[in-house]
Structure 1
Amino acid sequence: TVVIAITFTKASEMGMNPGDDNPFEKILVFLGFSARTQVLNGQIWLLVSNTFLHFSLLHLAGNMVTLIYIGSIIESKVGKWNYLFLYLFTGIIASMVSVMWRDEQIGAGASGAIFGLFGIFLALLSTNFYERNVRRAMLISTVIFLALNINPFGEGIDHAAHFGGLVSGYIFGFIVYAGLTHKNSSVKKYGIAVAGMVVVGVFVFGGIMSAPQYDNKKFRQLKNASEDISHTLHKCFYGYDNITPYQRLYILEHEALPAIKKYRAIANEFTRLTLPENKKREAGFRSKIILVHSNYYTLLYREYKEKDPVKYRPAISKATEKINALRYEWGDALTDEE
């Protein structure tokens, strides 16, 4: 059993986080690596191509060794064409589960399909497809292998693809059993392929229709814009040491006040974004902090313009306390996530 796998070693680290506007992202997607946004926008062929691509030679070698083992077992029972279809079917579903589950990382590798083949084997071992004495020995070794290789806590591993492949493979295993043991010769010959295409088609269509399109790029743009405005406001109120009060007031009215208006608009935009849960919480905290921060600078402006160091001080102090409380709460939320 041979699967041709193309390796793009240089991208092993840099290609994993397209959310950082990585220059390798477009190259990787062009080569066939899977990416959530592109797949949900209709580039569904990436669900197939990524199963023949790997991030490093070590990634490739590890998968090929395992694929030769499980592939030879499955192919010997189902035939080369059914084996190829099953590899693709489970690989596509594994990739789709990864796209639906993950945020925006680039995905690639044969491991989802490999886990799918193990799922098929596991299903067949739970039927009378194999002799009883063979079933027990192979079932034990397969379960041990899967237990050792499915680690939901490891980093840099596409757990969603592994679980998606394993579960879909287990389901396909019963389709394989039904097809190979059917009395009708046409069902035996074409049943697995036809049934698999239907299952994959329905799953991919349903996944694309149900998976939300995350506004990750817009989130990063707003985040950068809000930080720039925050620096601008700090400079307007606390910078420019060698200027007159009149010049300061001019800067506040012509630079700071328009910036505060943009700042508030950004806060409102944060709340309208569709984001993964962790970024949704971050956007919520950023929105609240920006609104209080905007109020804080507005009060400082009024205090400076009216030359009244008493009137607005309580409200300014209260705004400062609220900003610190929100930042503290945000820090606790980040700690809980870790």
Structure 2
Amino acid sequence: MPITLLLIGMNVIVFLLTTLTGMDIWWGNGEQLLHWGANYWPLTMHSQYWRLLTSMFLHAGLWHLFTNMLGLFIVGMFLEPVLRRYRFVITYLLTGILADYASIWYHKSAVGVGASGAIFGLYGVFLALLTTSLFRPSARKTLLVSISLFVALNFVAALFAVGIDNAAHLTGFLSGIVAGYILFFTLTKADGARLPG
């Protein structure tokens, strides 16, 4: 899973750079995050469109980074061997950009950062593929229950937590489901056989 590890490495390096230049390691800082490329409607939608991408590699604190990278590691372990490098990274970036756009459209006065929209996109892809005939039935049933439970618990927890970007999570997840069904037609049984476990 080289792309998964590369993405985790990039997120960690960017986080270390932000903290070394004065960012609070636990909470982050909106003004500093804007300087690094955070997502913010008045800036992003007035010619600074690149923020839709750069904000995916920024995190507001160590716990934010850790939970996102753990989620990315888990889904990448299963999904990257199946999709392989190009499909995996393109899906990650596209669902992440869509999630980031939904985030600032819904929260026009908030500063947005984090990889969670893209990560939820990958979980959406995985869940969609688990409902197809791509994988062997024995693996499909167990993983479908596990992934559904994981996603459901995350959405329930988000309802009671402060500062969780539900717009980004939901958009990433739904766009991932659509992408998963599209990707199904580009995959073969040999791809499905690469599912670990």
The answer to whether the superposition gives a TM-score over 0.5 is yes
- Structure 1: gaps spanning 5 or more residues: 16-23, 182-338
> Quick one: distance in 1 between partners of 2:48 and 2:77?
31
Give the total of aligned pairs. Answer: 173
Q: Does 1:170 find its partner at 2:174?
A: no
Q: Distance in 1 between matches of 2:85 and 2:172?
A: 19
SS at match of 2:186: helix
RMSD: 1.9
Quick one: distance in 2 between partners of 1:84 and 1:36? 25
Inter-CA distance 28–176: structure 2 relative to 1 (3 Å threshold): same
State how far apart, in whole Å, the 1-side matches of 2:60 and 2:161 are: 17
1:144 aligns with 2:156: no
Aligned partner of residue 121 in structure 1, secondary structure: helix
Identify the residue that residue 271 of structure 1 maps to in structure 2: none
**Residue segments in structure 2 that go unaligned for 5+ positions in a row:** 189-197
Larger radius of gyration: 1
How much has 1:66 moved relative to structure 2?
Answer: 1.3
CA distance in 1, matches of 2:101, 2:178: 16
Q: Partner residue of 1:38?
A: 43
Distance 1:54 1:105 in 2: 14
Who is 1:58 aligned against?
A: 63
Aligned residue for 2:193? none
Find the partner of 1:123 among 120, 124, 128: 128
Highest RCO, 1 vs 2 (Cα 8 Å, sep ≥ 6): 2
- CA deviations on 1:261-306 (whole Å, 9 max, x unpaired) are xxxxxxxxxxxxxxxxxxxxxxxxxxxxxxxxxxxxxxxxxxxxxx
Compared with structure 1, are the counterparts of its residues 13 and 55 closer, same or farther at alpha carbon in structure 2 (3 Å cutoff)? closer
Structure 1 equivalent of residue 114 of structure 2? 109
CA distance in 2, matches of 1:124, 1:71: 14
Per-residue displacement from partner, 1:65-119 (whole Å, max 9, x unpaired)?
1111101211100111211111101110110110111131111111111100000
| TM-superposed deviation, 1:55 | 0.9
1:242-261 → structure 2 map (5 Å cutoff): none
Amino acid at match of 2:187: L
Residue identity in the other structure for 2:52: L
Q: Quote how far apart the aligned CAs of 1:42 are.
A: 2.2
TM-score when normalising by structure 1:
0.49
State the TM-score, normalizing by the size of structure 2. Answer: 0.82
Counterpart position of 1:81:
86
Q: What are the within-5 Å matches in structure 2 for residues 160-239 of structure 1?
A: 160-181=167-188
- Name the structure 1 match of 2:104: 99
Counterpart Cα distance in 2 of 1:66 and 1:154: 18
Amino acid at match of 1:74: L
